[in-house]
Amino acid sequence: MNKNKFAITPPMGWNSYDYYDTTVNEEQVKKNA
């Protein structure tokens, strides 16, 4: 794979760290699990 090419489709899923930025804590992660 060429390092200058993007994925054909975007990565799927939900990343709690992106949503909560740097304020995520254990309680929030467990609520969303």
Cα 16 to Cα 6, 8, 10, 29: the distances in Å are 23, 23, 17, 7
What is the domain range of residue 10? 1-33
Give me the pLDDT at residue 11, please.
Answer: 74
DSSP class per residue in 12-23:
PS--HHHHHTT-
Domain count, the chain: 1
| pLDDT tens per residue, range 1-33 | 567 777 787 777 766 567 777 787 889 888 877
